[in-house]
Structure 1
Amino acid sequence: MAQGYVKAADLPQVIPVFPLPGAIILPRGQLPLNIFEPRYLNMIDDAMAGDRIIGMVQSTGGDPTQPTLSPVGCAGRITSFAETSDGRYLITLTGVCRFRLAAEMPGPSPYRQARADFAPFELDLTTPQADAPFEREGFMEALRVYLESRGLEIDWDTARSAPSEALINSLSMALPFDPAEKQALLEARTLTDRAEALTALLRIDAAERGDGDTPPSMQ
């Protein structure tokens, strides 16, 4: 059960959406955000006064002031909030459930709102399997090669002992894939599907970087 929500109908039908390319959240994952634009400060104020739900949706180009939205996003609940001395909000969203963007809602608010269809992803609200089936040994080897090719490091003891969902979802959110690849990971039907897609992306990226003389590191 995700943060008290049992079924799709328990979630609000209309939610504020935060368009951000290259950023996704997945069920039970945590996403820290630094909010500073006035319209999104307003959005957080309204969310904090209500059910604390915000829909993270990747934007896909178009008008910079009103970018096109991806068809699938994920709702998160504000589970941590702090205000800085210069008026920014530092929040943490915890993923609740993915949704399909049913319609964007007209209205006077400075931020965008949408009707969210959670029904296709209602299983996101159920308790995950303790260890969902996927080829973990092959995945860990693909991850090792990928990280080495980019000059990145992780805590391997934590990675090896992490439950499947926490491992796959946190890496899907954190690794520097392009927006289309992030969207594919977000939309993967099951955790096993996401693990297979993530393993493929790791192998493709490492193979492409292996063609050069010196793999660049992430800045």
Structure 2
Amino acid sequence: MDVIESLPLFPLSDVVLLPEVSVPLYIFEPRYRQMTREALDGERRIGMVTVRPDSLDQMAGDPPIFAIGCLGRIAHASERPDGTFQILLLGERRFRILAEHPRGGERLYRTARVELLRDPEVTTSNAADALDRSRAALLELLGQLVDRTPGGDRERIVAGFEDLEPARLVNALTRSIGFLPIERQQLLEADSIESRFEIMIDLLRFRLAESGLGGTGSAPLPN
């Protein structure tokens, strides 16, 4: 078991970090300014976790969080004269919280013992064939969604995703499409590439149905 004994936790309600995806963050609360300074002085690691939707009124304290999060590494940081930070956090690996540590001393933020998670590899030809079919279905749904987006360029946008290997494809689409935080958390928690594809396909089908009823979608754009 690959374990980090003490990882700083950064709970947010509206940001879900994924492996190989970067997010810009503005750090202003004193406890997270302390966390950022100490991370920069050490291994630059922060554990991003999502606050449970029914606990948003507890954000000022220690709200309940999902057990699955994403380890992030601070790729860039800029401290402002007022002590706040602008950072760019790059997602590296998923983790599961094993136990939170009691807060002690002068530490203002939460920490936990976590297990780093790996995605199972696709080891059989049947599984690889099924994944190829899911990939084709996903890109077709993406194209249909772009077709329903004003000004969408299906050929250009789909081409930006076609060459990505399966895990990166799902992560890139999760970043690019306007999914709700709870939907992104669903994708983060999926323990295999196959199940992530299934969830993503269901989400895109829902977006298409929503747009057909006059709802608004968010057009994905390649990097």
TM-score in same-fold range (> 0.5): yes
1:181: which partner in 2? 183
- Structure 2 CA distance, aligned partners of 1:151 and 1:59? 34
1:52: which partner in 2? 44
Three-state SS of the structure 1 residue aligned to 2:188 is: helix
TM-score, reference length from structure 1: 0.79
Q: CA deviation at 1:140?
A: 1.3
1:3: which partner in 2? none
- Structure 2 CA distance, aligned partners of 1:113 and 1:101? 10
- Structure 1 CA distance, aligned partners of 2:63 and 2:144? 35
- Structure 2 CA distance, aligned partners of 1:100 and 1:147? 35
2:143: which partner in 1? 144
- Structure 2 CA distance, aligned partners of 1:160 and 1:84? 40
1:18: which partner in 2? 10
Three-state SS of the structure 2 residue aligned to 1:196 is: helix
- Structure 1 CA distance, aligned partners of 2:81 and 2:150? 35
1:31: which partner in 2? 23
- CA shift in 2, pair 1:85/1:217, >3 Å: farther
> Which stretch has the larger CA shift, 109-118 or 151-160?
151-160
Find 2:32's aligned residue among 29, 34, 40: 40
- Structure 1 CA distance, aligned partners of 2:136 and 2:103? 50
Q: Which amino acid aligns with 2:168?
A: A
Q: Considering only aligned residues, what root-mean-square deviation do their CA atoms show, in Å?
A: 2.7
- Structure 2 CA distance, aligned partners of 1:8 and 1:152? 46
1:172: which partner in 2? 174
Q: Which amino acid aligns with 2:209?
A: A
- Structure 2 CA distance, aligned partners of 1:200 and 1:64? 30
* Structure whose CA Rg is larger: 2
1:88: which partner in 2? 84
- Structure 2 CA distance, aligned partners of 1:107 and 1:101? 16
Q: Which amino acid aligns with 1:96?
A: E
**What residue ranges of structure 1 are gaps of 5+ in the alignment?**
1-6, 127-131
**What residue ranges of structure 2 are gaps of 5+ in the alignment?**
122-127, 219-223
Identity of aligned residues (%): 34
Q: Which amino acid aligns with 2:37?
A: D
Three-state SS of the structure 1 residue aligned to 2:185 is: helix
Matched residue pairs, number? 201
**Once superposed, which parts of structure 1, at least 4 consecutive aligned residues long, lie more than 6 Å away?**
none
- CA shift in 2, pair 1:104/1:150, >3 Å: farther
Q: Work out whether residues 14 and 113 of structure 1, in 8 Å CA contact, stay in contact via their aligned partners in 2.
A: yes
CA deviation string 1:51-97 (max 9, x = no partner): 11111100014222221101111111112222345543222222222
- CA shift in 2, pair 1:152/1:91, >3 Å: farther
- Structure 2 CA distance, aligned partners of 1:59 and 1:115? 18
2:96: which partner in 1? 100
